[in-house]
Structure 1
Amino acid sequence: MRAFRTRIALLSVGAAALVAACGGASDSTPAQNGTSRLLATVGSAATTWNSVKFGGVGYVTGLIYHPTSANVLYARTDVGGAYRWNSATSAWVPITDGKGFGAADGSFHAVESIALDPQNDQKVYMVAGASGNGRLYYSTDRGNSWNYYALPFVVSGNDSGRAIGERLKVDPHNPSTMFYASRRDGLWGSWDAGKTWYQRTGLSSTHMTASAIGVEHLMFETGTSGGTQGTWVMFAAVAPDYASAAGLTSTFFKSNDGGNSWTAIPVPSAVTGYHIPHIVRAADGYYYIAFNKDAGPGAGGPGYLYRFGGNNDGGSWTLLNTSANSWGGYSGLSVYGTGSTTRIALGVSGTWGDFAGQNIMKLSDDGGTTWREIVSQKPHTPSNGEYWGWIDDVEIDPSNRDHIMHVYGGGIWETWTASAASPSWTLKVNNIEETAPLAIVTPPAGASYKLVNSSGDVGTWVHTDLTTSPTKGPSTGFSNGNSADVAWSDSTYIAIIGESNNTGYGYWSGDSGNTWTKFAKTPTGGTNPADASNIAVTARNKAVWAPADGVPSYTTDSGTTWTATNLPALTAIGGVPRSYRLAADRKNANKVYAYDSGGAWWSGSAGKVYVSTDGGHTFTLSQGSVSAGLAPNPFHATSLAVNPNVEGDVWLADGNAVYHSTNSGTTWTKLGNFSSIWGTNSWPDVQGASVVALGKAPAGASYSAAVYVVGVINGQWGVWESDDAGASWIRFNDDSHQFGGIGLVAADQNTYGRIYVAGAARGLLYSN
């Protein structure tokens, strides 16, 4: 369900420059990553930004409370960054939008773990990365600002088992000491608050080359202290894949000497070879440990819950609960209190549907002797669907036992009445926006709606109010929305394409999105679900559909029939989907522009533009575009836009530079401002110009549209704006609003200075 988002997080802004890999190290040799990368401010004109409301939608993989400071709470997501709860406004504050999360950093919106300093509630640590070696971000002001260190091990915040435990742990007795349970390289430790890291070879020095769950997490025995050396006693959970690769005899280990050496603890035979998604410790020293056959997310069972004696009774195991079937696994786990009145909240993941007898969250108020279901069969919020799904983290508020939260595939639910016979639940997603937009289109001035939003997982929706969740879409079951367009002469007509169940299809609406009709047919190639596909509307009932890896077709009857154009067929290059970018001239419905970006950096095939003067039926190659020498780049790193106020006025971003044509694509002028940032690779570390959009011009401007480009000028990445057709530029965003890189922009036609942008799985945001 969320695997789709991996590609979005990595590709939404072009090439992601990953931190250089650091070699592994033994206990006696520090890893080569000691230089702190300070993130300096270089911005100019800052603006204010708000989220276009959708509400949650994405997978929140962990909730992290400060152990002693009330209401200090963080949420991490698999691809959409991290958030801090603001109890004063009852809203989440995004904390990964600014410095350190720019165009080269989209993959670091995949947050694998968060840890808080138990002695200083201002300090927060975050490990992030989607592939390759990760980063440790550190903050002394609750995430308002960040610095980071490169890490010497692989981090995969959007991989399997991403809600297991918290891999990063800070020693409660000595916060300068921290441990990380890595996926491929065993257990690591740091004695200088994350600046340098050492592999704790006492557990294992095994390195795994393939994707793995690895060491899952670590738990400190908080009642034992080694003074300035930190906590002596700790427990570690190891996934079956790493235990097998390292030749370990158990998946559960104990250290009595601060992590230098480890002793295997046999687990009950029923859970041999199982994952340990969560371990929690009650104040009386007992451990509650969930076991599950699979790693998740949304893992099936069987699942088991045990109480472990730790140092209290020599380490005995007591079975408290077992799942009755294989389709509901145990994952989320939290405890409150001690002894025979310990409250236990146990999440049942891999549940689909809500019906009598279904288990979603089980609650015990007597240490696990008896249980009751507290989520299933509750009233649902109509616009946000279900409670069930991926219940992979559960948290009881440390300061209020009746306040319980749980995550699921669409965000967070909470109750303040957990002790009631039938607790009431509400969504806790205010200002969490984790959709992955694939296309945005704004209508002409005066339309009854603000924009059309096509996103991964949730389909296409028409937004009439930026402050409330949209309700105008073809169906709630629509999966990925790939593209949409509007008839400029009649904005009530909208055509959209997307996919569901791995099959592409389209819809049209003739009443601004109030009602929808599915296209009677799909054109040849239209069933390809790849998100490179797109559509252009020339007039009511008339559209051109460019499928991924195929030939565009046109319709004059809202999809009842389709006819292939004469454009050459495109094919994927190295597995990268390829398509023509289409744009309809807004002043002359007979003109349509089709841009072939070349497909990939390594294709050797330069970009080129084709022009139609018969409504997109036949096209002619623009020899001027061939002469311009457009760089080859993948579909996602390029853009094509028309000035809605002037016929034949076309703009193009080829990934590296910006080009402008004032004669319907006959000739093209390259603007000299934009240039990619190059490293040691044959592709750009940061694309010089990946998006172009045109919106309402300011009064008295010399050019009829405001031009916005996502790219690099003088080595500085950002959104750049010009009111004089590119003669001069100012940076439109600032370093506090980078959103993990910006992959989409649409400009408003009613309000000068308002643009809609999509960052790395941060939903849609708009400028004020």
Structure 2
Amino acid sequence: MKKIVKSLAAAASAVLVFAGCASTGSSGSTSPQYTQKGWKSVKIHGGGMVPGLIYNTSKQGVLYARTDMGGAYRFDAASQSWIPLTDFAGVEDYGRLGIASIATDPVEPNRLVIASGTYTNDWEKGPSQMLVSEDYGNTFKRIDMYKSDGTPLKMGGNMPGRGAGERLAIDPNNNKIVYFGSFGDGLYKSEDYGHTWKEVKSFPAKGNVYDEGFSTWSHFDHYFGIMWVVFDPESGTPGNGSKNIYCGVADTKNTIYESNDAGVTWHPLEGQPKIGDFSYGKPEAQKARGEAKHKHMTGDVCSCHMYYPLKGVYSPKGELLVSYNAGFGPYSSAYWGGAIWKFNFKTREWTDISLPKHDPDPSYATTDRAVGSVAVDYQNPDVLIAVTMNEWWPDEYIYRSTDGGATWDPIWYLDGYPNRVDKYSINIKDVPWLDWGTQKTLPEENPKLGWCIADIEIDPFDSDRMMYGTGAGIYSTGNLTDWDRGKRVNFIPYAEGIEECAVLDLISPTEGAHLISGVGDIGGFVHYDLTKASPMIVNPNISGVSSLDYAAEDPYYIIRMGDGKLMISYDGGDEWNPVKNYIQGANEGWGGTAAVNADSSVIVWAPSNLVPSWTDDEGEHWNVCSGLPENCKVVSDRVNKNKFYAYGGDKKFYASTDGGKSFVMVNDRWNKSGKDSWQSDLNAVIGCEGHLWFAAGEAGLYHSEDGGITWTSISGFDDALVIGLGKAKDSSSYQVLYTNSKYKGKYGIYMSEDKGVTWTRINDDNHQYGAANTAITGDPRVYGRVYLGTNGRGIVYRDVFEN
């Protein structure tokens, strides 16, 4: 009975709100732009890797975070949240959201330099950029970066080794001087605050180590290069520059170089540790040291048997602290080995201050413990904090030293397996998804301390404030020194304002939750309240939900698909159950679509690698849809339960009138543009049988009113990425259309209230959100509300008519 009531309500809603199905023209003209206030993030809270946290050491409260594909952020103490700085990046320059390094000026704290570039290969076109600001990142001058030979200089904010750093450094004795360690293309220097750059030709090494795993599957050699630059402030005087400069390099010969003449000449730093779990007599290690190019193994201990200096940190005690690791992260194992050493600038002495070793285990490559990062307390430089990178099981370790690294105290330990003693607590009540919706068996716990921890920092002005970045956001504590008094350190999620998910699909049902999302890596969420983080959708977990749909007559009946699995919810997404059987051989990666018909009696599942199949018994039996090719996008008619539509991998349109059992090709000549439809997004209109909208990439935007038999091209679209529909203005109007596309030569987010006759841009150049080309939808219950899924900036939304 409950289901019937919902169906009647949904049907009434469709008739009342979405009755405007009359034909329309296709002039594609432009209306004035709305004001730009009101873009907000749907709160997930983090959701991706934060490989760098950068404090200003001369002005309290100046703090930045870099993410691997979600841009750069500045912390706002008043609101205790992070402010995005790089949302100006759009479809054409989405690479600005991959942040390779950040430097905040120790002399003029308002100055900021950001190295922005997501990929070092051809996934990102053109050169990477330096973003140079004089107002804490409120505005930037964007500097294209080129190598000495005039070819584009690329940066790898989302590449292997992205947690190393910091590659950017500003001279504390002459802040006009800025250095940047590149990804295999040498050392670069600016003498004008970062506005112009030249390669330091005298620097003797570019780094001969590249990532084996990435090279194998992408056929591109990604070099880790020069991973950090550190100045010795005591080696110079204000205004005259620092004489002593240090660089860490991923190289099998020497890994740390020094200059004693302000960068004019360079030499290997004397006495530097030649460390690793190896004997120099091993033939493979000797061979690696003689290689011009060294392919570094990523799934096992490498033949070089070396530890590389991933992080270099200045200590106000007059020391260089170096974190070593056999891998480069973000996924390499702590069990491959690592170390921590410190170098005293005055005495020129090296001291081994490595973390306590693992217990001997034949499955480990070594008992040495790999390090993600080490931090120093500026108020008391004998206090150090260090964190492992990817212990994976049962958890990461954070260590604290109060004697300069002579001894280390772990934040948890085993007290008779499997029991553990925790010297900390984590409160995730405001970000409930961080428990992954599961309970762990000791010695594991949920939530974990983290994973992929590449940076940990102590506030230089507050010994109690510590934070670190994880693969899912940031944790912070405000009572760190209680550790020394035998009290628990209390952690909370600290990524408010940082939204970093890669969004794969969005739906906004006509009843129930306003928004349900499918995202990469962490599955997806049901949002009743857009301002609160939700629990993760589970039972079971799907790491990447590629497709969502709801039944038009029963919007509480929802399906979600991903990882080769398909789930059903009968209550709007609160509880989920897997279908009785999955399709054998369905692609377990991201991709594919699934659709449910209007009365929820039939589901069609289209894996990206198979011909679609249909079921009328919720997966007990799957039957191949006759007449369709592989790699289809499927949608259901929002009125007629017997109709489904598909766009095939062969770039033809198909339709079914028998509930998905069989399809016939209805149009193979729709594309008159002569351009490729590499991008495609197909949607059906609520309340209008046979009405379809199709975003076809460079081939343009199209509309059909007869189930795909004929298509009308909407003029003006140079690159139609996604198309979505929302609540109509009134009962006689058509659903409002939303798209993120290139329209009349300009990428933007556009809306149309008259079936595509006129279009209004509803964002500006400061709010573009990168390559947002996977999902967009209006809200069928809120006139003027649009949700946009991004690739690294989570979900943004706007109420266009909000005062």
Q: Is the 8 A contact 2:206 2:225 kept in 1?
A: no
Q: Is the 8 A contact 1:46 1:732 kept in 2?
A: yes
SS at structure 2 position matched to 1:223: helix
Q: Is the 8 A contact 2:48 2:471 kept in 1?
A: yes
- 2:613 maps to 1:613: no
User: Could you say which residue in structure 2 is the equivalent of 1:663?
Assistant: 706
* C-alpha distance in 2 between matches for 1:295 and 1:279: 14
CA distance 1:470–1:338, shift in 2 (3 Å)? closer
Stretch deviating more after TM superposition (51-60 or 188-197): 188-197
User: Could you say which residue in structure 2 is the equivalent of 1:124?
Assistant: 112
User: Could you say which residue in structure 2 is the equivalent of 1:283?
Assistant: 316
- 2:691 maps to 1:649: yes
* C-alpha distance in 2 between matches for 1:552 and 1:317: 63
Q: CA deviation at 1:105?
A: 1.6
Equivalent residue for 1:232, pick from 243, 265, 268: 243
User: Could you say which residue in structure 2 is the equivalent of 1:313?
Assistant: 347
User: Could you say which residue in structure 2 is the equivalent of 1:350?
Assistant: 390
User: Could you say which residue in structure 1 is the equivalent of 2:516?
Assistant: 452
- 2:91 maps to 1:103: yes
Equivalent residue for 2:376, pick from 330, 335, 359: 335
Q: TM-score, normalised by structure 2?
A: 0.80
Q: Is the 8 A contact 2:684 2:692 kept in 1?
A: yes
* C-alpha distance in 2 between matches for 1:710 and 1:386: 37
Q: Which amino acid aligns with 1:252?
A: I
User: Could you say which residue in structure 1 is the equivalent of 2:285?
Assistant: none
Q: Is the 8 A contact 2:165 2:228 kept in 1?
A: yes
Q: Is the 8 A contact 1:60 1:407 kept in 2?
A: yes
Q: Which amino acid aligns with 1:531?
A: W
Q: Which amino acid aligns with 1:740?
A: G
Q: Which amino acid aligns with 1:264?
A: P
Q: Which amino acid aligns with 1:650?
A: L
Q: Is the 8 A contact 2:180 2:188 kept in 1?
A: yes
User: Could you say which residue in structure 2 is the equivalent of 1:181?
Assistant: 181
* C-alpha distance in 1 between matches for 2:466 and 2:614: 53
Q: CA deviation at 1:597?
A: 5.8
Q: Is the 8 A contact 1:442 1:451 kept in 2?
A: yes
User: Could you say which residue in structure 2 is the equivalent of 1:166?
Assistant: 166
SS at structure 2 position matched to 1:107: helix
Q: Which amino acid aligns with 2:264?
A: N
User: Could you say which residue in structure 2 is the equivalent of 1:430?
Assistant: 496
User: Could you say which residue in structure 1 is the equivalent of 2:478?
Assistant: 416
User: Could you say which residue in structure 1 is the equivalent of 2:416?
Assistant: none
* C-alpha distance in 2 between matches for 1:630 and 1:664: 23
* C-alpha distance in 2 between matches for 1:205 and 1:343: 33
* C-alpha distance in 2 between matches for 1:294 and 1:627: 49
Stretch deviating more after TM superposition (622-631 or 153-162): 622-631
Can you list the C-alpha shifts for 1:363-404, whole angstroms capped at 9, x where unaligned? 011212222123673444353132131221010001101111
List aligned pairs for 1:45-84, cutoff 5 A.
45-84=35-74
CA distance 1:171–1:258, shift in 2 (3 Å)? same
Stretch deviating more after TM superposition (108-117 or 371-380): 371-380
User: Could you say which residue in structure 2 is the equivalent of 1:392?
Assistant: 454
* C-alpha distance in 2 between matches for 1:70 and 1:288: 23
Q: Is the 8 A contact 2:544 2:589 kept in 1?
A: no
RMSD: 2.2
- 2:727 maps to 1:696: yes
List aligned pairs for 1:371-386, cutoff 5 A.
371-374=408-411, 377=422, 378-380=424-426, 381=428, 383-384=433-434, 385-386=447-448
* C-alpha distance in 2 between matches for 1:764 and 1:437: 7
Q: Which amino acid aligns with 1:115?
A: A
Q: Which amino acid aligns with 1:643?
A: V
User: Could you say which residue in structure 1 is the equivalent of 2:406?
Assistant: 369
Q: CA deviation at 1:562?
A: 0.8
List aligned pairs for 1:298-697, cutoff 5 A.
298-299=331-332, 300=334, 301-310=336-345, 312-324=346-358, 326=366, 328-337=369-378, 342-354=382-394, 360-374=397-411, 377=422, 378-380=424-426, 381=428, 383-384=433-434, 385-420=447-482, 421=486, 422-444=488-510, 447-471=511-535, 473-475=537-539, 477-499=541-563, 504-526=564-586, 528-538=587-597, 539-570=599-630, 579-596=631-648, 598=650, 607-623=651-667, 625-626=669-670, 628=672, 631-634=675-678, 637-656=679-698, 657-675=700-718, 688-697=719-728
Q: Is the 8 A contact 2:725 2:777 kept in 1?
A: yes
User: Could you say which residue in structure 2 is the equivalent of 1:574?
Assistant: none
Q: Which amino acid aligns with 1:699?
A: D
Q: CA deviation at 1:626?
A: 4.0
User: Could you say which residue in structure 1 is the equivalent of 2:12?
Assistant: none
Q: Is the 8 A contact 2:501 2:791 kept in 1?
A: no
Q: Is the 8 A contact 2:309 2:325 kept in 1?
A: yes
* C-alpha distance in 2 between matches for 1:627 and 1:329: 55
* C-alpha distance in 2 between matches for 1:689 and 1:749: 22
Can you list the C-alpha shifts for 1:304-347, whole angstroms capped at 9, x where unaligned? 1222112x1133334454543658411211112488x6110111
CA distance 1:85–1:664, shift in 2 (3 Å)? same
User: Could you say which residue in structure 2 is the equivalent of 1:274?
Assistant: 307
* C-alpha distance in 2 between matches for 1:79 and 1:334: 24
* C-alpha distance in 1 between matches for 2:796 and 2:728: 20
Q: Is the 8 A contact 2:591 2:608 kept in 1?
A: yes
* C-alpha distance in 1 between matches for 2:579 and 2:731: 43
* C-alpha distance in 2 between matches for 1:321 and 1:516: 44
Q: Which amino acid aligns with 1:260?
A: V
Q: Is the 8 A contact 1:333 1:344 kept in 2?
A: yes
* C-alpha distance in 2 between matches for 1:550 and 1:298: 31
CA distance 1:423–1:270, shift in 2 (3 Å)? same
Can you list the C-alpha shifts for 1:145-194, whole angstroms capped at 9, x where unaligned? 22211112221111111111210111112222111111111211121223
Can you list the C-alpha shifts for 1:59-93, whole angstroms capped at 9, x where unaligned? 00100011111111111011111111111011111
Q: CA deviation at 1:541?
A: 4.1
User: Could you say which residue in structure 2 is the equivalent of 1:8?
Assistant: none
Q: CA deviation at 1:631?
A: 4.4
Q: Which amino acid aligns with 1:621?
A: M
Q: Is the 8 A contact 1:63 1:74 kept in 2?
A: yes
User: Could you say which residue in structure 2 is the equivalent of 1:576?
Assistant: none
Stretch deviating more after TM superposition (266-275 or 80-89): 266-275
SS at structure 1 position matched to 2:717: coil
Q: Which amino acid aligns with 2:461?
A: S
CA distance 1:141–1:270, shift in 2 (3 Å)? same
Identity of aligned residues (%): 30
Q: How many residues align?
A: 675
Q: Which amino acid aligns with 2:383?
A: R
Q: CA deviation at 1:273?
A: 3.2
Q: Is the 8 A contact 1:184 1:210 kept in 2?
A: no
Q: CA deviation at 1:443?
A: 0.8
Equivalent residue for 2:232, pick from 188, 213, 221: 221
CA distance 1:475–1:146, shift in 2 (3 Å)? farther
CA distance 1:427–1:205, shift in 2 (3 Å)? closer
CA distance 1:439–1:695, shift in 2 (3 Å)? same
Q: TM-score, normalised by structure 1?
A: 0.84
